[in-house]
Amino acid sequence: MLRSFGLQGKLNMVLLVFVVIGLINAGMVYTVVSKQKAAARTINLAGRQRMLTQKMSKEASFLFTASTPEDRRRAAKFLRDTAELFGRTLKGLQFGDKGQHLIATKNKKIQAKLAEIAQLWEPFAQAIATLAETDPSAPAFAKAMNYIRENNLRLLKTMNEAVELYEADNDLDTILVLQAILLAVLLATAGSLWLLFRRSLVQPLANTAVSLDDNAHSIKSFAASISEAADNLADQASKQAAATEESSASLEELTSMVKLNADNTAQANNEMQNTKHVVERAYQFMEDMNKAMADIRSASEETQAIVKTIDEIAFQTNLLSLNAAVEAARAGEAGAGFAVVADEVRSLALRSAESARNTSTLIENIVQRIEGGADLVRKATDAFKEVADGAAKVAVLLDEIANANKEQAVGIDQINIGITEMDKATQQNAAMAEEAAATANDMFKAAGELTVIVKQISAMITGGSSTAGEGDAPAGSAAPPSDQSAPQQALLTQ
């Protein structure tokens, strides 16, 4: 029977149930709250009994200590009034009292405790009456006073226990009230939700059903477009994979060439280092030769000075031989032998001077040649120095080139790794494109099923029954193409 109702009819039935439960709950709350008010007054009066117990004890003490008849009369009146109020309230708690708005309790424990208090109160009240009517000097007054002092605490304690029982009983009633209030809140909330549900869900749900039907047809169109886009994506991914593979091969070849260039540069750097050492040694040899040429020049100059000294000695000897010849000529026959010797000495001096001049000329020529050789040695030394500096610069450049080649090799290796990762990513993209195409086909089928579900929702909202006809069949009458392209198949088989 319920199936013949639409969603609106079912909601109305639920609302009717909520209204009935709410009325029952309202009656319960009213009853319990009324009982709570009476219980609160009862607890207040029971609590007042404790205060009256203490008040009677103090008024009895005041009566005992009163110094004038007027004070005793007033104290006796107060004591009688307090005792009368205590007794009347106790009786109302036991049996009920409309004047005090008291209802007799049905709790057995409280009834037993009130009976116990009544038993304690009867002799206590008699003792109070004795105090109010007897002279303080009489023995009966003292006996009654002692009884009040001895039993006042017991009466107070028993009254406290009665109040606690009242409070415990009232707590249970409070729990019942809270439960009833909570139920009322829940019912109010349920009613509000029903109104909200009816106003903001039923009609919007019907509108949504129409929108869902339109969206289902749109999803079919989108699914076909997504499938076509997925095939195109797979084709592009295949081309990208081929290009990536070619780039990877080119990078591998470039890597090998860079590594070979780095090895050759390293060997050239080693040879240049050796050449640098040889040039530095040759430069050192030229420096040593330059020093040796300077020493030879210095020795030649010293020899030239010695030859000059010899020439001067020969010149002086020639002069002396001339003087000796002159003196021998003056001596005549006696100096003839000496003249011959002087002539020989002169001849020897001339030859010595001639030899000294020839030696001096030869030494000058040697000195000039030594200076020329020293100049050539200096030029050769400068040239070797320039060669050494150039070799050092070339060695530094070769070292930098070697380091750059190493860095290039490392960078190309990293690029090669990146290309490999790109190739893997391209393969994954192709696989994902295939999955996207399959998902699009599933979406197309799901859209057909969604159309059927939407019609069922519409029937559920408005009531009645609905049977999917042939026109509602979700078996995709125009399923999107699902054949994979040749590049996609080729990529997935790699």
The reported pLDDT for the residue numbered 28 is 61
Asked if the structure places residue 351 within a domain, the reply is: yes
Asked if the structure places residue 356 within a domain, the reply is: yes
Residue 122: φ, ψ to 5°:
-60, -55
- In 169-291 the beta strands, taken as DSSP E runs, fall at none
The reported pLDDT for the residue numbered 488 is 41
What's the CA gap between 103 and 257, in Å, rounded? 112
- Decide: 216 and 443 in contact? Cβ < 8 Å: no
The reported pLDDT for the residue numbered 464 is 55
Over the stretch 192-222, which tens digit does the pLDDT of each residue have?
776 766 666 666 666 776 777 777 777 767 7
Q: What is the pTM of this model?
A: 0.33
- Distinct helix (H) and strand (E) counts, the chain: 7, 0
CATH number for position 306: 1.10.287.950
Asked if the structure places residue 130 within a domain, the reply is: yes
What's the CA gap between 282 and 380, in Å, rounded? 10
Among 405, 420, 441, identify where a domain stops. 441
**Burial class of residue 440 (count of CB atoms within 10 Å of its CB; 0-12, 13-18, 19+):** buried
Same domain as 59, residue 166: yes
Query: SS3 of 129, please?
Result: helix
- pLDDT tens for the chain, 494 residues long, are 545 555 566 666 666 776 777 677 666 655 555 555 556 667 777 778 778 877 887 888 777 788 788 888 888 898 889 889 888 888 888 888 787 778 888 888 888 988 988 888 999 989 888 888 887 888 888 898 888 888 888 888 888 888 888 888 875 656 666 666 777 777 778 777 767 666 666 666 667 767 777 777 777 677 777 777 777 777 777 777 777 777 778 777 877 887 788 788 888 878 888 887 887 888 788 888 878 878 887 887 788 788 888 878 888 888 888 888 888 788 777 777 777 887 888 788 888 888 888 888 888 888 788 888 878 878 888 887 888 788 788 878 888 887 887 888 788 888 888 888 887 887 787 778 778 778 877 877 787 777 778 777 767 666 655 554 444 444 444 455 444 444 444 434 44
Same domain as 258, residue 183: no
CATH number for position 188: 1.20.120.230
Asked if the structure places residue 306 within a domain, the reply is: yes
Query: SS3 of 6, please?
Result: coil
What's the CA gap between 29 and 179, in Å, rounded? 9
Asked if the structure places residue 6 within a domain, the reply is: yes
Same domain as 381, residue 249: yes
What's the CA gap between 307 and 338, in Å, rounded? 29
* Residues contacting 333, CB < 8 A, separation 6+: none
The reported pLDDT for the residue numbered 489 is 43
Same domain as 378, residue 251: yes
Q: b/e per residue, 401-410, with b = 16+ CB within 10 A?
A: bbeebeebbe
Same domain as 285, residue 196: no
Among 441, 461, 478, identify where a domain stops. 441
The reported pLDDT for the residue numbered 382 is 84
Same domain as 186, residue 247: no
Q: b/e per residue, 116-149, with b = 16+ CB within 10 A?
A: ebeebbeebbebbebbbebeeeeeebeebbebbe
Angle 82-87-93 from CA coordinates, rounded to 5°: 125
Same domain as 282, residue 183: no
Asked if the structure places residue 165 within a domain, the reply is: yes
Query: SS3 of 136, please?
Result: coil
- Decide: 460 and 8 in contact? Cβ < 8 Å: no
Structural domain total, the chain? 2
The reported pLDDT for the residue numbered 44 is 78
Over the stretch 330-380, which tens digit does the pLDDT of each residue have?
877 777 777 788 788 878 888 888 888 888 888 888 878 888 887 887 888
Handedness of CA 241, 242, 247, 249 (dihedral sign): positive
Range of the domain at 429: 235-441
Asked if the structure places residue 26 within a domain, the reply is: yes
Same domain as 144, residue 261: no
Among 150, 185, 203, identify where a domain stops. 203
Asked if the structure places residue 370 within a domain, the reply is: yes
Same domain as 257, residue 199: no
381-388 long-range CB contacts below 8 Å, 24 or more apart?
A: 381/283, 381/286, 381/287, 381/290, 384/279, 384/282, 384/283, 384/286, 385/283, 387/279, 387/283, 388/276, 388/279, 388/280, 388/283
Strand-pair partners of 97 = 102
Same domain as 182, residue 239: no
Same domain as 283, residue 422: yes
The reported pLDDT for the residue numbered 435 is 80
* Residues contacting 471, CB < 8 A, separation 6+: none
Closest Cα to residue 380, out of 297, 273, 285?
Answer: 285
The reported pLDDT for the residue numbered 487 is 42
Same domain as 291, residue 194: no
